[in-house]
Structure 1
């Protein structure tokens, strides 16, 4: 399951409903144009935490039906309601997803015993492989090397999506667990993570910049660091402009400029005004 995975954007209509035709176009764009190795479905970039369980299931269904077996698929099932996470995990597994992933439980100040129990409880009832989604900046949950070791004692936990700037910890995890999958979660730090021998990356900007991400990753693996750094520089210029204009909204507008019906964001996210739409189109022309 190594490689570059897009954290898939989802297309919504004006009423916040999943736009099936647009979502299918996004999937095909990622597979056929960006040529990524896999799709990470219903993560933060897919506005997962703004959706009902039924909407999440619909997205899982549409993506699997469109992608079939063209690329690997990871289903992000994490939810504060553990019963929902289990239900989604079973659903995605029955659809044929290659693995599930779950963000660490958030909002309440869960201690590590509770976090560990969360994953083990899910995996007792979901017959699939698990990739932990660690994103401390948004969840408030930071874990030590020893705590990752405790989680990895469960053989069904095969790796981690590591979305943190702690490269000391990243290196320690890589050294201690050579057989576990490590996916970098910060697009702007892909080269730095690749140098530490991660197995791949999962990123939102790969919806529009996946081919460059693959170049960075492959060049780093070949030891061609100077070339990779040049591509990372262009990538980071693109990322900086996207972030300044509105992350998910700008990615959607860039996709629209490429003929992909990426739709709107769900409320309470706001959509871009005319000036920012124009800026998104300029970003597309400049970098893509």
Structure 2
């Protein structure tokens, strides 16, 4: 299987919870169908930050992976984010999702402790060498504090099963250097608000939380860049960033979920200690929905 099959636009899947914190299976299925049928995404990135993954037990993560695969089937590509502070949990989830038929796995860099690069490299080797699958490094320095340089990416890519990176950073110099140094490896843009800039640097796709609602506009930005229509793409990025600014100012998860609810999708609550939307936030979310999404 060639890695080109994994190129494209992926929603970082939002997860619906009930008020008591339990998984809302029907809500998750509705979010998945919305992404496939309405947002027309190429795939889903399941178990990432947007999925409130690091607030969940291993069994809950497994159940969400099962639901996503059962609902999406083979309609789109599925990438499972299995990374964990506990490498043995990551290996368990890598095996679980590979057996389910996920097209690739991904893993966030280990964080909190100040791991050396050799320790980080061993973490990735332990995960990917445990399964017959492909792995995408999840680099998100502003949350993990872990920075990987061009040469270190090269060290990771020596393992032919480590096929690319979800690049969630604003360092476009580094992005350009990685793109030039490793043209055969996949690079996914991880910041929705920087789609235009990343597309100009010829990334292979993007993975974003706002694609759950703004996927059509995001795809248009990519298409316009490919057509050389930079002015039109810039205007769409302006609109996208106005939307993102308003969402962030009102509360990311609660606003996205409220906007989905306004479209008839049971996106539910957030997992504690995250707060779900207050009445004031719901009202503001309705204004955001009507301005950008209706």
Aligning the two structures, in what range does the TM-score lie when normalised by the shorter sequence?
Answer: over 0.9
Superposition deviation, residue 127 in structure 1: 1.5
* 2:228 aligned residue (220, 223, 226): 223
Specify the alignment match of 2:189 in structure 1: 184
Partner deviation per Cα, 1:116-172 (whole Å, 9 max, x = no partner): 000001112121100000000000100110101100001000000000000000000
Q: Distance in 1 between matches of 2:86 and 2:231?
A: 46
Specify the alignment match of 2:128 in structure 1: 123
Superposition deviation, residue 214 in structure 1: 0.6
Q: Distance in 2 between matches of 1:271 and 1:51?
A: 17
1:13 counterpart SS class? coil
- Scaled by the length of structure 1, the TM-score of the pair is 0.99
**1:22 equivalent in alignment to 2:43:** no
**1:68 equivalent in alignment to 2:70:** no
Q: Which runs of 5+ in 1 are unaligned?
A: none
Q: Which runs of 5+ in 2 are unaligned?
A: 1-5
Q: Distance in 1 between matches of 2:234 and 2:273?
A: 37
Superposition deviation, residue 245 in structure 1: 0.3
* 1:283 aligned residue (251, 274, 288): 288
Superposition deviation, residue 224 in structure 1: 1.2
Specify the alignment match of 2:97 in structure 1: 92
Q: Distance in 2 between matches of 1:123 and 1:174?
A: 22
Q: Distance in 2 between matches of 1:249 and 1:106?
A: 26
Q: Distance in 2 between matches of 1:275 and 1:15?
A: 21
The number of residue pairs the alignment matches comes to 288
1:125 counterpart SS class? coil
Q: Distance in 2 between matches of 1:245 and 1:181?
A: 33
Instruction: Find runs of 4+ consecutive structure 1 residues off by over 3 angstroms.
Output: none
Specify the alignment match of 1:262 in structure 2: 267
Specify the alignment match of 2:217 in structure 1: 212
- RMSD over aligned CA atoms reads 0.5
2:129 counterpart SS class? helix
Q: Distance in 2 between matches of 1:220 and 1:17?
A: 42
Superposition deviation, residue 223 in structure 1: 1.3
**1:105 equivalent in alignment to 2:113:** no
Partner deviation per Cα, 1:9-61 (whole Å, 9 max, x = no partner): 00000111110000000000000000011000010000000000000000000
- Scaled by the length of structure 2, the TM-score of the pair is 0.97
2:110 counterpart SS class? coil
Q: Distance in 2 between matches of 1:123 and 1:99?
A: 10
Q: Distance in 2 between matches of 1:140 and 1:218?
A: 33
Q: Distance in 1 between matches of 2:108 and 2:32?
A: 22
Q: Distance in 1 between matches of 2:185 and 2:129?
A: 20
Q: Distance in 1 between matches of 2:286 and 2:45?
A: 26
Partner deviation per Cα, 1:249-273 (whole Å, 9 max, x = no partner): 1000000000000010000001121
